Chain A
């Protein structure tokens, strides 16, 4: 079974530029998550989708970050404009559902460097 796919794997941009990340979850998984992982820290949840609806975006900096999951499958996360402190790994995860016994599976992440 294919895992969670993410692209690109690496991205370098200058501050104030925009960037977008793409995620393709495991087939059949209704729940999709985006996490941000700053160097030396554990991943932090940014946004959770159930099908194509947002369940939790309380930790998403909405002035510059946006995310969508059209058709309830693939998702994109966008940053516009980027700041230096956005340098991090952006991880996508998916699960069958959001119940606590339903395991989240993570993709390899996109490593973003903002100069």
Chain B
């Protein structure tokens, strides 16, 4: 079973920041937090991952709370092409996907 809890769906206006929360209150010290997204009819796309520190790349930022029990994925300027299902996964070996958050970006 997935070890994360995410909202089922979220909306975001184009050009605004999209903040996707994830709860992982039972995370272990050696588990990484991974984010993937899946655009309709495509395979999952890797976004970002982190262990303890906040991370940023060209796609997004990952903010992990100090107690590591939750995290937030930030898409700084959402576009229509960011409409997708976003999966938050805690991983020590396998990737175990839940049902994710369906993000709808509207004009």
A and B together in one complex = yes
Which residues does A use to contact B, with CB under 8 Å? Answer: 4, 40-45, 48, 56, 91, 93, 98, 100-101, 103-109, 111
A37 shortest CB reach to chain B, Å: 8
Tell yes or no: B45 within 8 A of A by CB.
Answer: yes
- Known A42-B2, A45-B94, A106-B45; judge A100-B99 contact (CB<8 A): no
- In the complex, A103→B48 CA distance in Å? 9
Q: Is the interface of B mostly helix, strand, loop or mixed?
A: loop
B9 shortest CB reach to chain A, Å: 13
- Known A106-B44, A107-B43; judge A43-B97 contact (CB<8 A): yes
Interface-located stretch among B18-26, B58-66, B85-93: B85-93
Q: Could you say which residues of chain A place their CB within 8 Å of the CB of B97?
A: 41-44
Q: What are the 6 tightest A-B residue pairs by CB atom distance, in nearest-first order? A: A42-B97, A106-B43, A106-B44, A100-B32, A109-B43, A43-B97
Q: Could you say which residues of chain B place their CB within 8 Å of the CB of A100?
A: 30-32, 91-93
How many residues in B have their beta carbons less than 8 Å from beta carbons of A? 25
- Known A45-B95, A106-B44; judge A101-B100 contact (CB<8 A): no
Q: Are the CB atoms of B43 and A103 closer together than 8 Å? A: no
- Known A103-B49, A106-B43, A109-B43; judge A98-B93 contact (CB<8 A): yes
Q: Are the CB atoms of A101 and B32 closer together than 8 Å? A: yes
- In the complex, A106→B43 CA distance in Å? 6
Residue of chain A at shortest CB distance from B2: A42
B99 shortest CB reach to chain A, Å: 6
Residue of chain B at shortest CB distance from A105: B46
Q: Are the CB atoms of A101 and B99 closer together than 8 Å? A: no
Residue of chain A at shortest CB distance from B45: A106
